[in-house]
Amino acid sequence: DQQVKQNSPSLSVQEGRISILNCDYTNSMFDYFLWYKKYPAEGPTFLISISSIKDKNEDGRFTVFLNKSAKHLSLHIVPSQPGDSAVYFCAAAYSNTGNQFYFGTGTSLTVIP
């Protein structure tokens, strides 16, 4: 049973426009959420995170939004750049398991120049 779901396997966006990647989770006990970016032949790299006490966290072009009532997480990239083309994984964790991390299946983003 997948506790973290990314229902869009792929997304294409024009350079300069906004990319919105979505993620849903089922366990209301999750209190820490993360986005990772993965290039081919490399490991996932941490991008941005948000604690459950917040509903928004921003880092440069990347913003993560958390809607706890809907159990929904999104990542906004503005403006999108060709170098952003990668697979994006969302992840969730809850502290009482020593930060066991649950990952979605990933969304492949292509930014078209």
Partner 1 sequence: DAGVIQSPRHEVTEMGQEVTLRCKPISGHNSLFWYRQTMMRGLELLIYFNNNVPIDDSGMPEDRFSAKMPNASFSTLKIQPSEPRDSAVYFCASVWTGANSPLHFGNGTRLTVT
Can residue 92 be called a binding residue for partner 1 (CB under 8 A)? no
Residue in 89, 92, 109, 111 binding partner 1, rule: CB under 8 A = 89
46-56 as b/e: b if 16+ CB within 10 A: ebbbbebeeee
User: Candidates 15-23, 61-69, 78-86, 92-100 — which segment interacts with partner 1 by CB under 8 A?
Assistant: 92-100
Determine the straight-line distance between the first and last CA of the chain, rounded to whole angstroms: 38
Q: Comparing C-alpha atoms, which of 37, 82, 91 is closest to residue 59?
A: 37
Q: Is 44 in the site for partner 1 (CB under 8 A)?
A: yes
Residue 39 C-beta: closest distance to partner 1, Å: 10
Q: Of 23, 103, 17, whose CA–CA distance to 61 is shortest?
A: 17
Binding marks (x or -) toward partner 1, 6..35, rule CB under 8 A? x------------------------xx-x-
Indicate which single residue of 61, 74, 102, 110 sits in contact with partner 1 (rule: CB under 8 A): 102
Distance of CA 51 to the CA centre of its chain: 13
CB of 32 or CB of 65, closer to partner 1: 32
The dihedral over CA atoms of 101, 9, 86, 76, expressed in degrees to the nearest 10, equals -80
How far apart are CB 104 and partner 1 at their closest, in Å? 6
